[in-house]
Structure 1
Amino acid sequence: MTWDAQRLRAHVGQVEQLLTQVGEHQDTPAGRIAAQAVQALVDLYGEALARVVALAARAGFGAELTGDELLEHLLLVHELHPDPVETRVRRVVGELNAELRARGAVVELVEVRPDVVTVRLTTSGCASTGHALASTVEDAVLRVAPEVGRVETVAPRAEPVLVPVAELLRPAARRDG
């Protein structure tokens, strides 16, 4: 059975809702049992996936596993993604720039640390547009590198003010008047 992207996302959403409901009932005996059952399944499937990743790497096609949205998501959940955090972040920032340029914005990767990714977002629009774009960047980065925890957006670089050399060489009286 192969699911299309829409069905996959709908199912992931349903699973997240069900897990939220289980989490809301962890204080009850049935809720604790449900949470333990879910954790046992996650651990079991995580171990199976780790074996698949190891076999794929030995066979020389481990990197191809990240081209599938569901597999990439599972690799991230189980901390098995073959690409380092910085590689994943650089890739998504590059992909975002293609989209953002059409909207009059540019995102630049400033730094990747274990707990935070810092980006610089330059927009030609209003502040609310900048906030929306910053949220888009944050969502995309955390989707591919959830282990970093947060994304910080720093102010754009100030444009240098260029003063013509001729202006600097003119006498002060002529510049003031």
Structure 2
Amino acid sequence: MNAEQTGLRVEEILSGLTESADPAGRAAAEALVRALMDFYGAGLARLAALLRDADADGRAVLDDELVTGLLVLHDLHPDDVPTRIARGLAAHPQHRAELLDYDEHARSVRLRIPAASGGCGCANTSVDGAREAIEGVLGGYAPEIERIEIEEAPAAPAQPALLQIGNRTIDPVRAAR
């Protein structure tokens, strides 16, 4: 499909919508077109900027969530899903998670997050917060994923108290009593 054919097709569709008797449907369709144009415009602008500033191999472009979203939307992304998951998690280090498994058929991913720290007894808050953040991140990098399973890494075992042995002088008067 070339640009001229696409332009003519868009004009044809918009003319049909303008002639439609349903004003609500027409307004919704126009809003949809505007949203898509904004999305594509922002993605293409970002792609152009990243290509201009990219390192020698150009892979920095694939670290961008918006560009990745455009490429995935059109099944053009060169990386497989597990690679995109890893890229997404690496691009947002504040949401540390380890990829344990990706099931293509179930469209699910299993991740492990670090154990909660602080001893407040609020491990669910940690998992719930991580889930929300990770779902947001992976939505842009791997929208194919329909289910995310998160397990919390076991907490490190408590270290035994250290016996302090040192050189201290003993008071002979006190020791004799």
- TM-score calculated relative to the size of structure 1: 0.47
| Larger Cα-atom Rg | 2
Q: Report 1 or 2 for greater relative contact order, CA contacts < 8 Å, sequence distance ≥ 6.
A: 2
Normalised to the residue count of structure 2, the TM-score between the two structures is 0.47
